[in-house]
């Protein structure tokens, strides 16, 4: 012991203890917390948060965090190498156990309409933002942990997430990106080593499940509900600060905030939302919970809960058990629900504009953008040069009706339609079954193919062949064009469920296999043909493979 009563401390020990890890070099520039009003209360208790855009809160530490998977493309965007992603430090940081210099933890305040009813304050109940990174390209990316513990917005919930739902969100975020659909991204998936109790089917049988944390990444996570909450409370000053910040940060090309710029901003939100919904309809994606708090102002797919992929083409299908009665958020309703949600956003920003007509015009822009985008998309799916309303409205309408006559796999149907030989002359009525041969893989029950259905489909194929021949498109060119927009692989619910069941037993191989597969969803991948097949019969009604609840 030295004369000062201090324990000797060597320079070697000091250098070891304070050695910087690679993640410590990340550059944080937290403009959201720097420029917007914060909750003055710092205790982490459930409450109504007034006059504030966010509350500061720290993650709950995980007992034994372990890495399940990471997306190397997202890591690279954040200036993080794959070798760093495989370190213990990466696991500690993105489980919430270690904070990096520059991080500023917070949860945001927002409200929303849930199933058409105003729900008041909602907020980040189990999401904790780590801060905003500026990468080497000067791009701003917000990082947030989902499932890292309660926040002041958690209401009666515990703030945690289970492995089951976290696997689904991790995989679908990346699958959607590689399909070319605007989406939030997923950097990492980590198990916590802790158990979380959930009632998966809401049937009164809760049970403990493995806990997990996912790191989500996006330019911004601001939602329609982020603006709604302040208008509902009459906090117009905070509303204006948030919209001004949003325009300056995420829409700087629109110019300095003003009434005119607010309107241009709303028009762009309408346009981006229309583009996103067109993409959903293109691949058969059903969000399942299109509440206004789950709608991004950037036109990103956000909050992957009880989503699903349309396997059997049934426009009234919803993956959400909570929505089973009203089917508000079914596949076919998604365009109309988006318009409804945008109308709520228009009402939220009205106090800053005080003009109804330009807002109505902007909402009309959504309808026009969606209709034009949908027609263009359908032309691409069918391999046409362009959508011709004179002929193609009837062609597409008849196709959508035919797809519902028997249980038909949407993904496989469009992929196989590219294999139809357009160069041959139309066959006579006796050859209807011959015309259907390339499409047979798409039908779940071939014994359901009635004579009338076969005749009607054969007639449609003849019309389709004649329409393509009018474009003078060669088989090879059409097939290439169609296969670029009609995926071969999508994240079918049963595939995700099989990966979840393995992961719950400690085997993460299926998650990483699916992640790699879904990086090239439009390609033929030798040896992976099994993943492009129809949903097996055993998965038709199995929990997690058909409909899901919001429990996560």
Catalytic center residues: 293
In angstroms, the CA 349 to CA 224 distance is 10
How far is Cα 145 from Cα 83, in angstroms, rounded to an integer?
Answer: 21
Strands laid side by side in the 106-108 sheet:
54-56, 106-108, 127-134, 140-146, 207-218, 185-198, 66-70
Contacts of 141 (CB under 8 A, 6+ apart): 77, 78, 132, 133, 134, 135, 217, 218, 219
Residue 20 phi/psi, 5° resolution? -75, 135
What span, in angstroms and rounded, lies between the C-alpha atoms of 214 and 161? 9
**Whole-number Å distance between alpha carbons of 345 and 267:** 11
| DSSP structure class, residue 309 | E
Give the integer Cα–Cα distance in Å for 125 and 140.
24
- Burial (0-12, 13-18, 19+ Cβ within 10 Å), 452: exposed
Cβ neighbours for 433, distance < 8 A, ≥ 6 positions apart: 454, 458
Residue with the two structure tokens 């993409």: 279
Task: Please say whether the beta carbons of 96 and 213 come within 8 A.
Answer: yes
């Amino acid at each position: 012991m030295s004369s000062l009563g201090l324990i000797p401390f060597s320079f070697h020990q000091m250098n070891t203890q304070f050695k910087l890890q690679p993640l410590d070099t990340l550059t944080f520039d937290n403009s959201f917390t720097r420029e917007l009003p914060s909750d003055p209360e710092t205790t982490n208790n459930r409450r109504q948060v007034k006059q504030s855009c966010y509350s500061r809160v720290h993650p709950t530490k995980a007992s034994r965090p372990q890495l399940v998977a990471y997306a190397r493309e997202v890591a690279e965007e954040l200036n993080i190498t794959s070798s760093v992603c495989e370190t213990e430090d990466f696991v500690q940081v993105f489980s919430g156990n270690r904070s990096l210099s520059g991080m500023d933890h917070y949860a945001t305040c927002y409200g929303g309409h849930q199933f058409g009813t105003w729900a008041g304050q909602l907020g980040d109940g189990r999401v904790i933002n780590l801060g905003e990174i500026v990468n080497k390209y000067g791009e701003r990316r917000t990082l947030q942990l989902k499932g890292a513990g309660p926040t002041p917005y958690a209401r009666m919930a515990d703030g945690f997430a289970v492995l089951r739902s976290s696997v689904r969100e991790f995989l679908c975020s990346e699958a959607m990106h590689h399909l070319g659909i605007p989406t939030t991204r997923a950097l990492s998936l980590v198990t916590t080593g802790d158990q979380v109790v959930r009632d998966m089917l809401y049937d009164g049988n809760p049970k403990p499940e493995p806990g997990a944390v996912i790191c989500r990444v996006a330019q911004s996570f601001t939602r329609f509900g982020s603006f709604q909450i302040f208008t509902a409370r009459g906090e117009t000053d905070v509303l204006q600060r948030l919209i001004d910040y949003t325009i300056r940060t995420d829409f700087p090309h629109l110019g300095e905030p003003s009434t005119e710029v607010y309107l241009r901003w709303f028009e762009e939100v309408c346009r981006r939302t229309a583009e996103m919904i067109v993409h959903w309809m293109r691949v058969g994606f059903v969000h399942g919970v299109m509440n206004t708090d789950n709608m991004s102002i950037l036109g990103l797919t956000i909050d992957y809960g009880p989503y699903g992929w349309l396997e059997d083409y049934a426009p009234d299908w919803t993956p959400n058990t909570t929505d089973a009665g009203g089917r508000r958020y079914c596949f076919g309703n998604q365009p109309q629900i988006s318009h409804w949600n945008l109308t709520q956003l228009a009402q939220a920003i009205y106090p800053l504009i005080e003009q109804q007509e330009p807002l109505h015009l902007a909402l009309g822009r959504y309808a026009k953008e969606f209709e034009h985008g949908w027609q263009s998309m359908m032309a691409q799916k069918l391999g046409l040069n362009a959508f011709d309303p004179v002929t193609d409205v009837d062609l597409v309408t008849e196709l959508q009706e035919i797809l519902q006559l028997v249980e038909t796999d949407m993904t496989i149907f469009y992929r196989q339609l590219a294999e139809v030989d357009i160069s041959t002359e139309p066959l006579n009525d006796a050859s209807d079954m011959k015309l259907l041969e390339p499409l047979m893989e798409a039908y779940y029950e071939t014994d359901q193919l009635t004579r009338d259905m076969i005749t009607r489909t054969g007639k449609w194929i003849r019309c389709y062949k004649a329409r393509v021949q009018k474009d003078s498109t060669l088989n090879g060119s059409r097939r290439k064009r169609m296969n670029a927009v009609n995926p071969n692989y999508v994240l079918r619910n049963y595939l995700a469920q099989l990966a979840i069941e393995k992961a719950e037993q400690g085997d993460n191989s299926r998650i990483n296999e699916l992640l790699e597969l879904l990086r090239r969803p439009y390609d033929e991948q030798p040896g992976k043909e099994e993943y492009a097949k129809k949903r097996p019969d055993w998965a038709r009604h199995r929990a997690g493979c058909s409909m899901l609840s919001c429990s996560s």
